[in-house]
Amino acid sequence: MQNWTGREDGFLEQIMNTFYVITNYLKDPEYRTAGNIRNYLEEKGKTCYIQERRNGILSGPYKYTDADKIPEDVEGVLVLGGDGTLLQAARDLMERKLPLLGVNMGTLGYLAEIEHKNIRPALDRLLADEYIVEQRMMIYGCVYHYGKKMLGDVALNDIVITRNGRLRVVDFNVYVDGEFLSSYSADGVIISTPTGSTGYNLSVGGPIVAPQASLILLTALAPHTLNSRPIVLPDNVEITIEIGSSHGTDIDGAEATFDGDTSVKLNSGDRIIITKAESRTLLIKTKNTSFLEILREKMNR
């Protein structure tokens, strides 16, 4: 882990001299933007590596970026693409504890702070040490089938459990720290971090939470009850979602998806246990923009 200096407000700071660029080749197919960033940083006396183009998903512990191939002297990672690319990088690099700066090369983005046209001013602020590093909590989900662990994975945004297959609702039983909370007949359930509160959670009417907070949000998807409301829980609880039966003659089951990426099919009786992850994601912020200002800007587009 890098030698970060802590501050009373919970942010971190450090002078950075060596960088690594991860780019979404679908949005930067010739690596032109990545190359321009490297050239600019090297002109300023910094060191910059670019991730080699890969073919398909990796095998082993990483899916998109092999964290073991990132040089040890790297102090900051620039992620070119959008929120999806940044989520992928956050999950692959969580054990390296490297701060990430997202560059949005798509449309709407909450995580990727910098727009493509503003890359150079952002780099100038980064090199002038005019930035902060926010710590964002992650959640960990572990799926069990007949008591046997099937999958364990982390998410920066959310873990979403939805029906699998035909358009029919599924019953979900929810427990908090082993105590029964509620049952839902719904299309699914979203378990979100504060960072993910402006993602899928927002689109279904869930609460918006400041991303630096440390809470867990639970929001039902299209619940078939009149009294269902989103629930905000402290970060130290253990949430268990038990899959009930589909409403119909054929049981299609459900599916758990981590940050819209890794997924696993769930059958009636399966459980997924969700807790706060031990690892955190570090996000670089180069603009002195409040969460409320960002929210107004993004939501008024």
Question: pLDDT tens for residues 89-118?
Answer: 999 999 999 999 999 987 666 788 888 889
Is the pLDDT confidence value at 23 over 90? yes
Output the average pLDDT for the chain: 87
Instruction: List CB contacts of 41: < 8 A, sequence separation 6 or more.
Output: 19, 47, 48, 123, 127
Report residue 120: phi and psi, to 5°.
-65, -45
pLDDT at position 55 is 67
- Exposed / middle / buried, residue 17 (Cβ in 10 Å: 0-12, 13-18, 19+): middle
Report d(CA 63, CA 226) in Å as an integer. Answer: 41
Instruction: Report pTM.
Output: 0.89
Whole-number percent of the chain with pLDDT over 70: 88
- Clarify whether 83 is annotated catalytic: yes
Active-site hit among 66, 73, 83, 171 = 83
> Tokens 């001299």 appear where?
17
How many Cα neighbours within 13 Å face the side chain of 244?
Answer: 18
**pLDDT bucket at 7, cuts 50 / 70 / 90:** very low
CA angle in degrees (0–180, nearest 5) for 33-62-31: 10
Please determine, for residue 5, whether its predicted confidence score (pLDDT) is greater than 50: no
Tell me: the pLDDT tens digits for 198-220?
899 999 999 999 998 999 999 99
- pLDDT (mean) for 22-44: 94
Cα 266 to Cα 279: distance, rounded to the nearest angstrom: 26
Neighbours of 245 (CB within 10 A): 12
* Bigger pLDDT: 222 vs 8: 222
Contact 30, 59 (CB under 8 A): no
Whether residue 4 is predicted with pLDDT greater than 60 in this model: the reply is: no
pLDDT tens, position by position, 53-88: 876 677 667 889 999 999 999 999 999 998 999 999
Of 300, 301, 227, 298, the closest CA to residue 83 belongs to 298
Mean pLDDT of the 128-144 span: 94
Q: What is the pLDDT of residues 170-189, one digit of tens each?
A: 899 999 999 999 998 999 99
pLDDT in tens, 243-294: 987 654 445 679 999 999 999 999 989 999 999 999 999 999 987 777 777 7
Higher pLDDT, 10 or 154: 154
